[in-house]
């Protein structure tokens, strides 16, 4: 055998990644199609989830509710990469739950049947399916520290840059979408505090914050969600900005469609003869 002979190793990087991407995305799609995506369960296909009810832009929320396909942007993240991000979130959540329990906290994450705790509201008058739905990562009933028990628990993970923003600004300012999720959960589950934990996946540091229930924020988000449910098209809802160059529009998944489509026509007052005020 000639060990001195050198052959270039095959470049399998892209091919291997493509194989992995396909299997994990196919599995995710199959699980979704068999569950909520089927439209046959308790939750409607067209719904607003707590995870994005806090989306800052009214129209972006409506695009998602009306199931408008997301656009491919220059800084596109593949479906496989997105799914790996989601899986890492599940792994870190499981680890954080284990650490909290080892530290002496009475953390409940699942019902006896294995399902998550959550809520189903705004049911469709025809099908009875929920059009607003949410689940929590857990609920802490007691523990070794003086905290306002019971608390809901929300687990997130982040890279160092995002983690630093949360540590400096707090949840409400750092990410209105996360904050909206937390406030909506507390509103419907009638718990006034949430323990928010975030694991820095670069340094393994943990950020924690006790978030208090803000009824005004929860009411505003619920009222807006109802308007979205009642909308016939996303363009009926206002944009967050008046100019496409606004930084909040730059990374939107619906930017091109939103700015190519005209805004909803302004509602004019009905003439008197239609309202019964005429002769």
Q: What pLDDT does 38 receive? A: 78
- The set of residues, in sequence order, having a beta carbon less than 8 Å from that of 197 and lying 6+ positions away, is 96, 153, 154, 155, 156, 206, 207, 208
Name the one residue in this structure whose structure tokens are 């505003």: 220
Instruction: Tell me: pLDDT of 6 over 60.
Output: yes
pTM value is 0.86
| Cα 17 to Cα 224: distance, rounded to the nearest angstrom | 41
Residue 77 has what pLDDT? 76
Of 62-66, 146-150, 191-195, 249-253, give the lowest mean pLDDT range: 249-253
Cα torsion through 244, 248, 249, 250, rounded to 10: 100
Instruction: Average the pLDDT over each of 194-203, 216-225, 238-247 and give the range with the smallest value.
Output: 238-247
Q: What is the pLDDT of residue 214?
A: 98
Query: Once rounded to an integer, what is the mean pLDDT over residues 185-208?
Result: 98
- The per-residue pLDDT for 13 is 78
CATH of region 13-258, choose from 3.40.50.150, 3.50.30.50, 3.40.50.620, 3.90.320.10: 3.90.320.10
**Contact yes or no for 130/120 (Cβ under 8 A):** yes
84 against 5, higher pLDDT = 84
Percent of residues, the chain, with pLDDT higher than 90? 76
pLDDT of residue 79: 87
**pLDDT per residue over 12-57, tens digit each?**
878 899 999 999 999 999 998 888 777 788 999 999 999 999 999 9
Give dist(CA 207, CA 158) in Å, integer: 10
pLDDT of 265 reads 47
Domain ranges of the chain: 13-258
For residue 268, pLDDT beyond 60: no
pLDDT, one tens digit per residue, over 68-91 is 999 876 556 788 999 999 999 999
Of residues 3 and 250, the one with the higher pLDDT is 250
Closest CA to 53 of 224, 190, 186, 257: 224
Residue 28 neighbours by CB under 8 Å, 6+ apart: 83, 86
* Residue 186 contacts residue 134 (beta carbons within 8 Å): no
The string of DSSP letters for 223-241 reads HHHHHHHH-SSGGGSPPS-
The reported pLDDT for the residue numbered 5 is 65
**C-alpha closest to that of 198 among 213, 178, 215, 217:** 178
DSSP states along 139-205: EEEE-SS---SSEEEEEEEE-HHHHHHHHHH-HHHH-HHHHHHHHHHHHHHT-SEEEEEEEETTT--
Residue showing tokens 């609920």: 139
């Amino acid at each position: 055998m000639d060990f001195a002979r050198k052959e270039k190793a095959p470049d399998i990087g892209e091919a291997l990644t493509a194989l992995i991407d396909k299997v994990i995305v196919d599995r995710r799609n199959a699980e979704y199609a068999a569950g909520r995506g089927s439209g046959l369960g308790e939750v409607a296909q067209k719904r607003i989830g707590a995870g994005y009810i806090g989306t800052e832009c009214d129209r972006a929320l409506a695009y998602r509710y009306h199931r408008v396909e997301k656009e491919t942007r220059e800084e596109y993240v593949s479906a496989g990469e997105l799914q790996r991000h989601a899986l890492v979130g599940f792994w870190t959540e499981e680890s954080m739950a284990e650490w909290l329990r080892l530290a002496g906290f009475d953390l409940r994450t699942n019902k006896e049947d294995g399902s998550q705790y959550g809520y189903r509201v705004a049911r469709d008058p025809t099908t009875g399916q929920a059009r607003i739905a949410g689940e929590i990562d857990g609920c802490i009933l007691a523990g070794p520290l003086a905290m306002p028990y019971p608390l809901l628990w929300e687990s997130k993970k982040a890279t160092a840059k995002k983690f630093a923003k949360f540590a400096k600004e707090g949840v409400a300012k750092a990410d209105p979408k996360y904050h909206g999720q937390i406030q909506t959960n507390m509103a419907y589950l009638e718990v006034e505090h949430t323990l928010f934990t975030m694991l820095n996946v670069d340094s393994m540091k943990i950020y924690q914050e006790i978030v208090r229930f803000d009824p005004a924020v929860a009411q505003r988000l619920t009222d807006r969600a109802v308007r979205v449910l009642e909308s016939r098209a996303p363009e009926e809802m206002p944009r967050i900005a008046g100019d496409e160059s606004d930084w909040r529009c730059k990374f939107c998944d619906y930017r091109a469609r939103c700015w190519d489509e005209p805004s909803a026509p302004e509602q004019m007052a009905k003439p008197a003869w239609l309202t019964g005020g005429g002769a």
